[in-house]
Amino acid sequence: MNYYVETILVYAGVDIIACLALNLQFGVSGIVNFSFIVFQAAGAYTAAVLSMPPDTASGMSFQHYVLGLQLPFPIPWLGGALVGGLLAIPVGVLLLRRLRSDYQAIALLVLSVIVNTVITNYRPLFNGAAGLSVIPPPLSERIDPYTATYQYLYVGITFVCCLLVLFVANRIVNSPYGRTLRAMREHELAASALGKNLVALKLTVFVVGGIIAGLSGAILVGFISYWAPITWLYPETIVLFAAIIVGGRGNNLGAILGGLLVPLGFEEITRFIPTGFGPPGLGPAIQWVAIGLLIIGFLWFRPKGVLPEPRRVFNEAGIEESPFMEVRAS
Amino acid sequence: MDLYIAAFGFGLVSLSVIAIAAVGFTMQFGITNVINLAYSSVMISSVYVAYAFNHAGVSIWLALIAGAIFGAVFSFLLNRVLYTPFQRKGTSLLGMVIVSLATSLMIQNVLLAIAGPYNVSYVQPSGGTIRLGAIVLTVVQVLVIGIAVVLMLAIHALLTFTRLGKAMRATAANPTLARNCGIPTSRVIDVVWLITGALCGIAGVVAGMNSDTFAVGNGPGYLITIIAAAVLGGAGQPYGAMLGAVLIGEMTELSAAAISADYKEVVAFAVLVLVMVLRPQGLLAKRGALAAAG
Amino acid sequence: MLTAREVHRHFEGMRAVDGVSIDVLPGRITGLIGPNGAGKSTFLAVLAGTLPASSGNIVFEAEVITALPAYKRARRGLVRTFQLPSEFAQLTVLENLLVAAPGNRGESLLGALLGKRYWLPDERRLVERARRLLNRFGMSAKESDYAGTLSGGQKRIVEIMRALMLRPRVLLLDEPMAGVHPSIVDEIATYLESLRDEGLTILMVEHELHMVERLCDPVIVMAQGKIIGQGPMTMLRRQREIVDAYLVG
């Protein structure tokens, strides 16, 4: 497997995991989590500092960071997922509790920008703007990361994580709990008038999403060995939103499809622009205009996405027919 | 102590810039029900339109007018081409937020491709300084304060004394009722976007005049400060936005003197969160517009 | 059953509900009428907990519930509907009912993660119950339709069925006939009568006076946030100031 293919596969896995998490929050529950990327970053930073040696160790003196516990795999990944989930609690309690949903979205957007600003300017925590580098890849003490075996292994672990997250997401979406989340998305007031505790519902789904986002960050940072504020600017969240909107809000398969197409397409689009063509900012400009047009175009022409949320039909015995049978457009 | 008095003086300039911007932003929301997250992108675009004129040899004051006209026309078109069609289609408030954020990213990145990531500045006469105790301001800064005062009085007069202003308030309170009472609400909304767009453009250019240098990347920072001021005063309320601007402007400058200028926006955000948690309807809210459902 | 004592609800100086005391009698349909802006819907929202009371007390089945949030009141059996259509549009009719049903083990996050085998027995039981309701209200054919595609009257019926899934002790209806085609108004009225005859207690805000006359006894008249009269409709019709309040309002 060449490095390019490996990179594509790992990125695709990370994006799919992130999209499944965001789909639970945005697609299923209607929580517009504009600070999603912060939770991915929390997982990445945590996994990094749990696996790195202390910053006093030789060769690390060029950067400053907390912890540096050199813990073996998979503890850093579990730690990343845990911190992603823990971070969701205060954020959820503060911002999801009383605000109207559009203000929640704005508050979360602002949070995303601000957390990035703080991490950029405060060096002792995660080395500020320069970020963390030379993060040891998981299991690198046992297997040489530059071998083909390791590449297969990393892609394999990523794939297993994808399946695990899909399993969890499917259980949630296809359960009565998921149905209540969808009801909350459709009409919050009516849901609360029917005995639904909106705060608890939002908090649980926020935490679950945070855990999965944290895991995605841990997988990514183990692969690229580098993490800095510039890798998790707030527009990264918008790319994931575009993926969900294109793939189909509320549909896990849609989230996977969007996660495969949009973020990867976004990264790859610049490959097709001949180098030296146009001003230096042209590549990113085309990327962002494409993302913006995707979002606006889909919201206008096909708001339910390529794979719309399936309609749930119950058979005579009172059992819901498998939604996978009905992925057709409605 | 002098440090803080000087910071207070800079705060006066900051709050003037924020007030112009936040009043425009909050009026867009209050009257047309769009949380226009592309506001800061229009603002930074206006900064560069003025920059283009300015560097072609036009005086900064004429460039300011160019920036205002650009902001007005651009905002008007944004609403006509994008927001109104989506609203007519029945897009939810959340959908509108997503549309405006996507738009914001597009505008900002197109501007980045055209103008480049560099720090630039206006050519403007230094004009000497004016001293008042420990407060030292440039003539330009004093003029910025003057512009803000004039604009705020003009907005007040517009809303209080003119038929247009009354139509705006009626549209804000209940668009359907306003339409039934014979108010041409879609024309009113067009005018609102022109006026608020002009405020947006002016705010951008005076922000550029007040800073040593500016860059395309400043946009999100503007947005956070504007949202903080607007929410602090009670979203959708012009007078609330003015009050919010005063508080945010002074707090950010004083905290910059006390801690570090790097955390200006963080202070704005802390205030924003506190307000959202403790008094989500804002300081001057009339109705519980911001309160959560249920 | 349901008692309100001196309930006030103020919006920034405006007294939407200004010291209202009522006793909702069990097994009856109590009507709440009055001109626009009288505070009827606001009062209903305060009873249901959608809006907090500024002052006063609400007692439900011998328990003070004034400080309880809306969802807890609903779980205790005090369930409301809304004046504007409030169906879960992207859920099917059957799902709308299932959402409302309490007692499904799969409704918690943990239950969901434990999988279908854990919650399916509950689900089947509730589907059966929901289908009985659908059958009774003549909506079986619409079971798998998205609720958002229904007519105004059908949405009303879904909302009433949805509320019934909670097995309410008191039902608070906010203009259940609003926006409903006249041919279905009579149908809804018949359903409400049969629910009353089964012993369900109902408090309903309504504008259509002949519907009120048919269904409601007693009737409470509100104007400007206060109660200005109550009793059977035939008696109220004879009271001059009440007729005036209506005509003036």
| ipTM given for this complex | 0.91
* pLDDT over 90, % of chain B: 44
**Burial (Cβ within 10 Å: 0-12, 13-18, ≥19) of residue A139:** middle
Residue C162 lies inside a defined structural domain of this protein:
no
Quote the tokens at residue B289: 């517009």
Task: Note the pLDDT of residue A271.
Answer: 62
Domain of residue C197, CATH code: 3.40.50.300
Q: Say if C156 is an interface residue toward chain A (CB within 8 Å).
A: no
Which of residues 91 through 150 in chain B touch C, CB cutoff 8 A? none
pLDDT in tens, B33-70: 889 999 999 999 999 999 999 999 889 999 999 999 99
A326 pLDDT band (50/70/90 cuts)? Answer: very low
Task: Note the pLDDT of residue B284.
Answer: 64
Task: Note the pLDDT of residue B288.
Answer: 35
Burial B22-59 (b: 16+ CB within 10 A, else e): bbbbbbbbbbbbbbbbbbbbbbbbbbbbbbebbeeebe
Q: Say if A319 is an interface residue toward chain C (CB within 8 Å).
A: yes
Task: Identify which of A174, A178, A195 has the shortest CB distance to residue C102.
Answer: A195
Q: Which of A319-323, B245-249, C160-164 has the lowest mean pLDDT?
A: A319-323
B289 pLDDT band (50/70/90 cuts)? Answer: very low
Residue C32 lies inside a defined structural domain of this protein:
yes
Let me know: does C120 contact A320? Beta carbons within 8 Å.
no
B294–C11 C-beta distance less than 8 A: no
Quote the tokens at residue C128: 């059966």
Report the C-alpha gap between B183 and A38 in whole angstroms.
Answer: 46
Residue type, A97: R
A319–C99 C-beta distance less than 8 A: no
Q: Say if C129 is an interface residue toward chain A (CB within 8 Å).
A: no
pLDDT in tens, A117-160: 889 988 888 988 888 988 888 888 788 888 888 888 999 999 99
A325 pLDDT band (50/70/90 cuts)? Answer: very low
Q: Say if A174 is an interface residue toward chain C (CB within 8 Å).
A: yes
For chain C, the average pLDDT equals 90
C92–A311 C-beta distance less than 8 A: yes
C-chain CB neighbours of B294 within 8 Å are 50, 69-71
* pLDDT over 70, % of chain B: 95
Q: Say whether pLDDT at A274 is over 80.
A: no
Q: How distant is the Cα of A307 from the closest Cα of chain B, in angstroms? A: 19
pLDDT in tens, A47-103: 999 998 888 877 777 888 888 888 888 999 999 999 999 999 999 988 887 677 778
Among candidate residues C20, C42, C58, the one with its CA nearest the CA of residue C220: C20
B89–A296 C-beta distance less than 8 A: no
Q: Say if C11 is an interface residue toward chain B (CB within 8 Å).
A: yes
Q: Say if C41 is an interface residue toward chain A (CB within 8 Å).
A: no
Find the residue in C nearest to B281 (Cα): C12
pLDDT in tens, A198-230: 999 999 999 999 999 999 999 999 999 899 999
Task: Note the pLDDT of residue C184.
Answer: 87
Q: For the residues A250-255, what does the mean pLDDT come to?
A: 95
Q: For the residues A249-274, what does the mean pLDDT come to?
A: 82
Q: Say whether pLDDT at B280 is over 80.
A: no
Task: Note the pLDDT of residue A323.
Answer: 57
Name residue C24's beta-bridge partners.
C2
- Check: CATH 1.10.3470 for B2-278? yes
Interface test with C, best of A194, A201, A207, A324 (most C CBs within 10 A): A194
Task: Identify which of A189, A278, A291 has the shortest CB distance to residue B294.
Answer: A189
Q: Say whether pLDDT at C249 is over 50.
A: no
What is the residue extent of each domain of chain A?
A: 3-233
A189–C106 C-beta distance less than 8 A: no
Task: Note the pLDDT of residue B222.
Answer: 87
Q: For the residues B118-134, what does the mean pLDDT come to?
A: 83
Q: For the residues B195-217, what does the mean pLDDT come to?
A: 93
pLDDT in tens, C24-66: 999 999 999 988 888 899 999 999 999 999 999 999 998 999 9
Backbone angles phi, psi at C95, to 5 degrees: -65, -35
Report the C-alpha gap between A91 and A111 in whole angstroms.
Answer: 9
A1 pLDDT band (50/70/90 cuts)? Answer: low
Which of residues 80 through 109 in chain C touch A, CB cutoff 8 A? 80-82, 86-92, 94-96, 98-100, 102, 104, 106-109
Interface test with B, best of A114, A194, A282 (most B CBs within 10 A): A114
Report the C-alpha gap between A133 and B27 in whole angstroms.
Answer: 46
Task: Identify which of B101, B266, B276 has the shortest CB distance to residue A99.
Answer: B276
Count interface pairs A-B at CB distance under 8 A: 141
Find the residue in B nearest to C50 (Cα): B294
Q: How distant is the Cα of A202 from the closest Cα of chain C, in angstroms? A: 11
Domain count, chain C: 2
Query: What is the residue whose two structure tokens read 């990944």?
Result: A77
B288–C11 C-beta distance less than 8 A: yes
Task: Identify which of B89, B94, B269 has the shortest CB distance to residue A102.
Answer: B94
Type and span of the H or E element at C221: strand C219-223
Task: Note the pLDDT of residue A276.
Answer: 59
Q: Which of B48-62, B101-115, B174-188, C184-198 has the lowest mean pLDDT?
A: B174-188
Q: For the residues B104-124, what does the mean pLDDT come to?
A: 89
The string of DSSP letters for A163-203 reads HHHHHHHHHHHTSHHHHHHHHHHH-HHHHHHTT--HHHHHH
B288–C70 C-beta distance less than 8 A: no
Comparing C241 with A312, the larger pLDDT belongs to A312
Q: For the residues B102-126, what does the mean pLDDT come to?
A: 89
Task: Identify which of B113, B272, B294 has the shortest CB distance to residue A188.
Answer: B294
B-chain CB neighbours of A288 within 8 Å are 105-106, 108-109
Task: Identify which of B286, B288, B294 has the shortest CB distance to residue C50.
Answer: B294
What is the residue extent of each domain of chain B?
A: 2-278
Q: For the residues A97-120, what does the mean pLDDT come to?
A: 85
Task: Identify which of C12, C69, C70 has the shortest CB distance to residue B287.
Answer: C12
C-chain CB neighbours of B286 within 8 Å are 12
Residue C98 lies inside a defined structural domain of this protein:
yes
C-chain CB neighbours of B288 within 8 Å are 11
Find the residue in A nearest to C163 (Cα): A194
Which of residues 231 through 290 in chain B touch C, CB cutoff 8 A? 286-288
Q: Which of A16-25, B8-17, B168-177 has the lowest mean pLDDT?
A: B168-177
- Same domain flag for C80 and C103: no
**B-contacting chains (≥3 CB pairs under 8 Å):** A, C
Residue C154 lies inside a defined structural domain of this protein:
no
Residue C111 lies inside a defined structural domain of this protein:
yes
C87–A195 C-beta distance less than 8 A: no
B262 pLDDT band (50/70/90 cuts)? Answer: confident
Task: Identify which of C12, C50, C69 has the shortest CB distance to residue B286.
Answer: C12
Task: Identify which of C48, C88, C120 has the shortest CB distance to residue A187.
Answer: C88
Q: For the residues B160-165, what does the mean pLDDT come to?
A: 90
Among candidate residues A131, A140, A122, the one with its CA nearest the CA of residue A51: A140
Report the C-alpha gap between A220 and A154 in whole angstroms.
Answer: 11
Report the C-alpha gap between C58 and A211 in whole angstroms.
Answer: 41
Task: Note the pLDDT of residue B287.
Answer: 43
Q: How distant is the Cα of A305 from the closest Cα of chain C, in angstroms? A: 14
Q: Say whether pLDDT at A18 is over 60.
A: yes
Which of residues 243 through 302 in chain A touch C, CB cutoff 8 A? 250
B292 pLDDT band (50/70/90 cuts)? Answer: very low
Question: Domain span at residue C47?
Answer: 2-85+168-248
Task: Identify which of A175, A194, A205 has the shortest CB distance to residue C74.
Answer: A194
B106–A288 C-beta distance less than 8 A: yes
Q: Say if A309 is an interface residue toward chain C (CB within 8 Å).
A: yes
C-chain CB neighbours of A251 within 8 Å are none
Comparing B202 with C240, the larger pLDDT belongs to B202
Q: Say whether pLDDT at C2 is over 80.
A: yes
Q: Say whether pLDDT at A269 is over 70.
A: no
- Same domain flag for C80 and C175: yes
pLDDT in tens, C145-196: 999 999 999 999 999 999 999 999 999 999 998 888 888 898 899 999 999 9
Let me know: does B231 contact B35? Beta carbons within 8 Å.
no
C-chain CB neighbours of A319 within 8 Å are 120, 123-124
Task: Note the pLDDT of residue A287.
Answer: 84
- Cα distances (angstroms) measured from residue A281 to each of A129, B17, B108, B114: 21, 29, 11, 7
Comparing A104 with B42, the larger pLDDT belongs to B42
* pLDDT over 70, % of chain A: 92
Among candidate residues B29, B12, B8, B51, the one with its CA nearest the CA of residue B204: B51
Task: Note the pLDDT of residue C88.
Answer: 96
Query: What is the residue whose two structure tokens read 């949405």?
Result: C155
pLDDT in tens, C102-123: 989 999 999 999 999 999 999 9
User: pTM for this structure?
Assistant: 0.90
